[in-house]
Structure 1
């Protein structure tokens, strides 16, 4: 079966124009229904996958005879999840698999949760192979909290996975659950809380299982002493250095470990003693000094005495809000700190109060400014634009999706050296038509694509682009496309684009 990329690569000019019409917000519902009924697969793919659809078109998609057409809609990130949930009992396995996999979204976007009743139905009826990680992202926070106590045993089995965060009463109930599979899953999780069991299960060779146990689970003194005296792998000491059950004498010992990675990990521990902190503050390794400079027990004066270097090669990206909000007092202390990394931590807090938003928006650290822009719902427009102009790392484009990202005044960027910035100019509502036309010939294809969709593009140039293999579908998606041109394309291209599927 052809992949979506192969389907699009095989589409001819007539089909690409129809695909553009499928995306055009000004195209009437009757035309969309006609495309769904008669257009080639590539146009139906774009229609069902790449836009929100009117209710009547959704109804037609759900009952469409072509499996692939329904499958494209099952992964549509623009569709309401309740609309996608109408396919949970589709007769075709592949369509149900697409519902479980969820929409394909670019980072940092995440799929919106499916309705709770649909998720419960899928947990109870779908094959396990369909319910992997992408499916879990579609579970609402409310349902996730209720899974361990749900009346359906199969759903409770899913809830056992949240074992570390469950209350003692809930854990006890799951260990005594009337369903054997639920009890067994709970018992497996409970074993990991027993240091003796962890010791018995610890592999004697480097592997993922050994790494997981050394990092996260309670360790016996025998395991700790064995790692210190006879490590199986070169990373063993670095692993136990972050284990929360590490005894104080081991913390003290590892603070002087010859491996700077081990010392850097120890430096981040909240139970690090004052003597060890003072020693690590002058450690010869810059990564160790940076790690200890963030320790919560240090005063600002102590922090300022440390010779640390602030990394500028980090990715400044959107961070999902935590399940439990941070302590407001701790956030404020971080925001007012002299340490840029602590201010960066505060800048990523979605609940940062207005006075701290204003303060950090003018911070002298690029990471602080961009993290605030990427994460705070009230990040001001000047900060968002400045961040886009200055930050060129991953998820730069996410800044343009923030609520206050400006549109006015962007036309002056049409000659910027950076093509992503020129693409901003191609979105400006007040841009001159002649400038839009020039940008349709830009060296960068993304700039040309945005310009081809701009409603201020002169009609003669728009007509030319409809005959261009690369730009035809962008031009056909232009909201300024005349209604008579829409009718002509449907009439003529609809007849021509009939390749066998």
Structure 2
């Protein structure tokens, strides 16, 4: 069964016990009794959806049910060292889930596995298990050093970043003592060189639309006849290719499709004549793309009639798995001081932004700048974090509350706000009075009701009522103010045995 099916099949009593499993105040012996129980839903929630004390992790690692162990492997709240204990699990099912990245939610994002665990996975797991999920669990330092790692299979995998490797490292991989590393390096070198050979690209180019064709037209070295052949159906793909001849770029700059012209406007090698033409393009998206071109002066940018919307190019966390490139300090400062909000947003999204620029952008007039600074910079001020949450309603809004410096006090004043997300914010304040907490359990918004049912300030009588509420019983059972005696009573009622 999938996790969704397990939860759908759970009885009301099981869901109530699953709430106890989430309760941060639950004694360890309660958690161990839940782990020893028969309910798959309870074990799933316990092992997958909360931080776990060491004694419970010990019991999970030794649990006879492979699904139970796999839930720990997928737990984004668990300490990476705890998840790493499953690296040599006897069941491939558990090991495969460890190699995958745990699911992210609006509460937390997974942390990297220990480097030694990543090495163990690369060195001992089947190749098909070592993919994107594992890349997402690597520390940046580990990714950047893979090509020179002492373990051969790690070096072999590191050769996949061929384009970013220095000539010295490439040469070392091609002459490596390990034949597998040499073979991998040669394969990646061959693919790299073939992508830069116009004749090879022509030979490899599929006639039908597919991923391979799109990749070659976007990144491969293109001969003039290939460019001409792609002009009718694939103009957008060749418009951003660095090898598209300058004469054809000029043609594409006048293409009837504004998406093609936008792609041309983003080219770093765009000529002055094309820049002048696109600066007055009838499409606002084209003008906006051109307005951030690196060749323009601040005065030239200001002369372009562009408009930046609040949804444009922000609202995303800095995440992913490319080998990190050291930031250009001069470009960061130039972008941060620009009059153009998109350039300031680009600077705000850099975690390496210097403290003086953080302070400068914290007072920026553009909401996008302020939100990106909060989403991506560990030094974002507390007042800015709260202000950004109140003003920003887009993607990843709730992640702002997970910043280490997000204020936790004084939020109770938002309990009657018209925005349900802001009312929910009030429930992050442990000092919220019992009356408002009680009222919010009846809120029209389901997320607000769910958080209110778990608020420690909720009156005991209301907690007891909610334990019989079909919607909120498992939330109320997770309330840290729930007496331990009630937890034991719920266990006894369900017949859960002692471990």
Work out whether the TM-score is over 0.5: yes
**Counterpart of 1:426?**
427
Are the counterparts in 1 of residues 454 and 476 from structure 2 also a CA contact under 8 Å?
A: yes
- Of the candidates 271, 280, 283, which is equivalent to residue 281 of structure 2? 283
Matched position secondary structure for 1:38:
coil
Q: Tell me the CA shift for residue 10 of structure 1.
A: 2.3
Q: Single out whichever of 73-82 and 358-367 deviates more from structure 2.
A: 358-367
- Map of 2:68 onto structure 1: 69
Aligned to 1:212: 215
Answer whether contact 1:256 1:263 (CA < 8 A) is retained: yes
Q: 1:492 to 1:207 in 2, by over 3 A?
A: closer
User: Matches of 1:159 and 1:495 in 2, distance apart?
Assistant: 49
* 1:448-499 deviation digits (Å, cap 9, x = unpaired): 11111111111111111112222122112211122322222222233599xx
Query: Relative to structure 2, which stretch is displaced further, 304-313 or 52-61?
Result: 304-313
Residue pair 2:110, 2:137 contacting (<8 A) in 1 also:
yes
| Structure 1 residue aligned with 2:259 | 261
Q: What is the 5 A alignment of 1:89-238?
A: 89-106=88-105, 110-191=109-190, 192-193=192-193, 194-195=196-197, 196-219=199-222, 223-228=223-228, 230-231=229-230, 234-235=233-234, 237-238=235-236
Structure 1 residues 298 and 146: CA distance shift in structure 2, 3 A: closer
Question: What is the CA–CA distance in structure 2 between the aligned matches of 1:38 and 1:138, rounded to whole Å?
Answer: 31
Judging changes above 3 Å, is the alpha-carbon distance between structure 1 residues 118 and 352 closer, same or farther for their aligned structure 2 residues? closer
| Match runs of 1:96-495 below 5 Å | 96-106=95-105, 110-191=109-190, 192-193=192-193, 194-195=196-197, 196-219=199-222, 223-228=223-228, 230-231=229-230, 234-235=233-234, 237-314=235-312, 315-320=314-319, 323-495=324-496
Contact 2:33/2:496, CA 8 A, preserved across alignment: no
Cα separation, 1, equivalents of 2:43 and 2:108? 24
Q: What is the CA-CA distance between 1:159 and the residue it aligns to?
A: 1.4
The CA distance in 1 between the partners of 2:147 and 2:168, in whole Å, is: 11
Query: Alpha-carbon deviation of 1:251?
Result: 3.6
**Structure 2: which 5+ runs fail to align?**
none
Alignment pair present for 1:18 and 2:17: yes
SS state of the match for residue 429, structure 1? coil
Query: What SS is found at the alignment partner of 1:359?
Result: helix
1:151 CA displacement: 4.1
Contact 2:76–2:109 (8 Å) recurs in 1: no
What is the 5 A alignment of 1:8-87?
Answer: 8-38=7-37, 40-87=39-86
After TM superposition, the score normalised by the length of structure 2 is: 0.91
Cα shift at 1:164: 0.6
Q: Per the alignment, in what secondary structure is the counterpart of residue 495 of structure 2?
A: helix
Tell me the CA shift for residue 109 of structure 1.
5.4
User: How far off is 1:439 after superposition?
Assistant: 0.7
Cα distance in 2 for residues equivalent to 1:146 and 1:328? 23
Structure 1 gap ranges (5+): none
CA-to-partner distance for each residue in 1:262-307, whole Å, 9 max, x for gaps?
Answer: 3322222222222332222222332222121111221111111111
What do residues 350-376 of structure 1 show as CA deviations (whole Å, max 9, x unaligned)?
A: 233333333323323222222222222
* TM-superposition CA deviations, 1:330-363 (whole Å, max 9, x none): 2222222221111211221223333333332332
Distance (whole Å) between structure 2 residues aligned to residue 82 and residue 451 of structure 1 = 32
Q: Distance in 1 between matches of 2:208 and 2:489?
A: 70
Q: What is the CA-CA distance between 1:418 and the residue it aligns to?
A: 2.1
Where does structure 1 differ by over 6 angstroms across 4 or more consecutive aligned residues? none
> How far did 1:52 drift?
1.5
Number of residue pairs matched by the alignment: 491
Cα offset, 1:107, TM superposition: 6.8
Q: 1:176-198: per-residue Cα shift (whole Å, max 9, x none)?
A: 44544433432332233241322
Contact 1:39 1:494 in 2 (8 A): no
Q: Distance in 1 between matches of 2:16 and 2:300?
A: 65
Distance 1:259 1:449, change over 3 A: closer
